[in-house]
Structures are given as structure tokens and as C-alpha cells.
A and B are shown apart, each in its own frame.
Chain A
Amino acid sequence: MKKIIPALLAMVLVLVFMLPAFGQEDIVELKDPAFTAPKRPAAVFKHDEHNELAQIDDCTPCHHEDVDEEGQFIEGDPDYKCADCHTVEKGNGTPLQLAYHKMCIDCHTEKKAGPVACGQCHVK
């Protein structure tokens, strides 16, 4: 009994520390659960590797909370999901699918680097 309790405690501790570690698993593709009936394969996107390769040091433009009058993104909290603010259905503001496409494709077009055609991101 004396040995089981610390062992159990240790297991609980391990689990408590492991869970967020599972949660923080590196992003390697984007498959937003907001799209309940996805029509395309997930989009490849290795979060950290991408930003290193593309030499993006800021978390904006991607993580923002709004755009200012000049159309510049205002820094936002990365813990929010795109879908927290952009809805799948068209309402006011940029709908979710367009938000993703604009964010990703506009920069690739401008930089003349990175995927721009459907199948380069939505790889089967």
C-alpha cells in the first residue's frame, strides 16, 4: 500500500504533464473542424518549419484580432482559432475558407514562393 500511493501519484503527475504535451503536438497540417463536411484533403502546413523557412518572425499577419484602417493586421493572441472569429457561413467579415485562402495564397503570390494552386496545399 505504501508503495502504491506514490506510484499512483507519480502516474497522475505524468499524465497531467503529458496531456498538454499531446495538445501542443506540432501542427503539420490544417484540417479545420469547423468545416463539418470537408471537400478537400487537409492542407499541408508545418507551423514552425514553415515560419522558419519563410523567415516570418512575427506572429502577425496570421495571428491577429482585427485589421486597422490601412488594412494592416493588429497583433492577436495565437491561442484563438481562426474559426473563433471567422465563420464558415457568410455573415459580416471574411468567411473562414476565404480567410484561410487569402492569408496563405496572397502572401505566396506576393513572395513568388510557396503553394498557390489547390493541389499543392490540399495534397491527397
Chain B
Amino acid sequence: MFNEIYELVTGPLAWIGWGIFLLGSVYKLASLWSLAKKKDTSSIYYTKAKFGLRSIAQWSLPFGTLGWRETPSVTVVTFVFHICLILVPIFLSAHVILWEEWFGVSIPALPNHVADVMTLLVIAGGTFFAWRRFSVPEVAFVTSGHDWFVLGVVVAPFLTGFLAYHQIFNYEVMIVLHVITGIAWLALIPFTRLSHMLVSWYSRAYIGSEFQGVRHCKDW
């Protein structure tokens, strides 16, 4: 019974998840691009690589911008959260073994205890963001159900992965939940707020270009 379920979620379901993620991402970018071309050509006209990259570089530095300096706690958690969030699923040793055994790609792996700490940092970061959505009035005010859903989707594979790795609760149940939540994480990127992963680069480049190229001032 377990073997059939495991085969289903790591086989067809995983392919569907990757397919939705990749095709959905292309669709999302293409549809936003054509919308911009139709309704907002001037924004495209003003966006310049030089200004855009300058702005993205500046915003990639912790405390590199006025925005980042405003609430240091949020800045620190945001950077740690996003770095761990991207690195763990790619370089986790269990995932590296699967990259190798299923796809024949070998990449270096994080030591288990490092990945373990990074996983806990993601869970802690998620908890911090949840606390802010509850307790900080200006954040609570702009929080909708969608935000809670997205936060749950993002943290779920880390929580279930951690519990599976440590074999806490029923391992078979946990590993299946982990794979399902992991696939959901990927597949929902293009269709939720998580699409900021795809489009925020462009938003930043545009804002940077308008400030530097039109208003002749910094956007950081």
C-alpha cells in the first residue's frame, strides 16, 4: 500500500507539480508582459538594465537601503528566511542523493546538521512573520486569508521534512505529506503571492529605473 502511494507522489504527481511550476511561470511572465505592453508601454520604455541591476544589487544587501534600515529585525529575518528557503531544498543531502539517483546530476550537499539548523531558521522565520501578522497593527491591517495560506504552504514542507528526517511521529505518513506539500510549494508559486519570486525582479528594476533615470535620485 505504502509503496503504491510513494510511487504515485514521487512519480506522476511530482511531474505534474514540476510541469505546473514551469509552464505556469512562463504563462505568468508572458501574460504580465503582454499586459504591460498593452497598458503601460512607458514603464517598459523607461526600464533600463543599468539602473535596474544597480537597484537590485543595492536591495540585495542587508541594510543596503533606507527601507532595510527602517525595521532591522524584519530585515534580518527576511534575509535569513529567504536564503535558507532557497538553499535547503536544492542542497539538502537527501535531495542531493535523489538528484543523483533519479536524474544523474551530482551537486554538493549541505552537511546534515547545517541543513537541520537552516530548516529550523525557516520555521522560526515563518513563525516570526505569523506573529507580525497578528500583533503589529499596520501589518495585521493588510493581512488577508491568502497571506495565511501562502505562509502555511511555504513552511509546511520544512516542518514535515524536519519531522520525517528525525522520524518523529509516523515516518511513512510524514514523508508522504512532505512530498505532497513540497510539490504544492512548487506548483503554487506562479498562482499565488509567491509569484513575487518571479516578478519582483522586474518591479525593482522598473522602480530603480524611474528613480535613477527619470527622477534622478536613488531608490535605496
- List residues of A whose CB falls within 8 A of some B CB: 39, 97-98, 101-102, 108-109, 112-114, 116-120, 123-124
A95 to B143, CA, bound (A): 51
Select A123's contact among B97, B164, B167, B175, beta carbons within 8 Å: B167
Contact B100 A120 (CB under 8 A): no
Closest to B1 in A: A112
A39 to B114, CA, bound (A): 13
Contact A113 B167 (CB under 8 A): no
Contact A120 B172 (CB under 8 A): yes
> Which residues of chain B have C-beta atoms less than 8 A from A39's C-beta?
93, 112
CB of B57, distance to nearest CB on chain A (Å):
37
Select B166's contact among A98, A102, A124, beta carbons within 8 Å: A124
26 chain-A/chain-B pairs, Cβ below 8 angstroms: A39-B112, A98-B100, A98-B101, A101-B101, A102-B101, A108-B3, A109-B3, A112-B3, A112-B4, A112-B7, A113-B3, A116-B3, A116-B6, A116-B7, A117-B171, A117-B175, A118-B175, A119-B164, A119-B165, A119-B167, A119-B171, A120-B171, A120-B172, A123-B167, A124-B166, A124-B167
A101 to B164, CA, bound (A): 19
The yes or no answer to B29 lying at the interface (CB within 8 A) is no
The yes or no answer to B94 lying at the interface (CB within 8 A) is yes
> Which residues of chain A have C-beta atoms less than 8 A from B167's C-beta?
119, 123-124
> Which residues of chain B have C-beta atoms less than 8 A from A109's C-beta?
3, 7
Closest to A110 in B: B3
> Which residues of chain B have C-beta atoms less than 8 A from A113's C-beta?
3
> Which residues of chain B have C-beta atoms less than 8 A from A123's C-beta?
167
> Which residues of chain B have C-beta atoms less than 8 A from A117's C-beta?
6, 171-172, 175
> Which residues of chain B have C-beta atoms less than 8 A from A119's C-beta?
164-165, 167, 171, 175
